[in-house]
Amino acid sequence: MLEELKQKVYEANMELPRRGLITYTWGNVSGIDREKGLFVIKPSGVEYDVLKPEDMVVIDLDGKKVEGDMNPSSDTATHVVLYNRFPNIGGVVHTHSSWATSCAQAGRDIPCYGTTHADYLYGSVPCVRNLTKEEIDEVYEKNTGILIADEYEKRGMDYVATPAVLCKNHGPFTWGKNAHEAVHNAVVLEEVAKMAARCEMINPQNKPAPQELQDKHYYRKHGANAYYGQNN
């Protein structure tokens, strides 16, 4: 079942250690088949050097395991919520990459200080609040996803334009049109977090880039009249 998607999700998962985004088993990638209403995710706690495409676990949008010999990622319920609340995404990534997680532990949004950030992420990367004790005790992973989606609604943010979020005292989640793009956005987020932290070390009074500069860089790549790259 979904053998092609399993291969793609496996390859996306294997990008995490290659890109230096994870240590040991600290991360997971999923990808969805929207027509079938099923997604594929990494099994829980399996080391990357022994991971195989056939180990991927198939889950439905109610969070029930459809196929797989192993338990899915412990973050599966968060992925379920994101796929249900963000209908235009096709892949989700969670890591504990050092710089992005440091920003999450600090409990701060990542401001857009420059064009590297603006090229890929529109505006600040939000950091959501801590879950309450009741939310943690109830359904921790599900409520993490609900908190993320609710924060985007509350702020009026476009989840496609800003495909990255920080969970306070936890770590980052990113998403994209497929699993590969979600990993790409995780790499971008880590670099942007590193640049922002260094920027504030050099100049603690620094301000975000001018909005017109942010807009120019984002929309020349992603807008209706985008002209970055090759149109072929």
Model confidence pLDDT, tens digit, residues 14-53: 999 999 999 889 999 999 999 999 999 999 999 999 999 9
Largest Cα–Cα separation, the chain: 54
This prediction's pTM: 0.95
Question: Residue 106 — very low, low, confident or very high, per pLDDT cuts 50/70/90?
Answer: very high
Strands 91-95, 127-128: pairing is unpaired
Residue with tokens 């476009």: 158
DSSP conformational letter for 189: H
The 10s digit of each residue's pLDDT in 131-179 is 999 999 999 999 999 999 999 999 999 999 999 999 999 999 999 999 9
DSSP conformational letter for 1: -
Per-residue pLDDT at 223: 87
The two three-digit tokens of residue 162, written as one number: 């800003």
Domains located in the chain, CATH noted: 3-222 (3.40.225.10)
Distance CA 16, CA 11 (A): 9
* 232 pLDDT above the threshold of 70: no
Q: What is the mean pLDDT of the chain?
A: 96
Q: List residues with catalytic annotation.
A: 119, 228
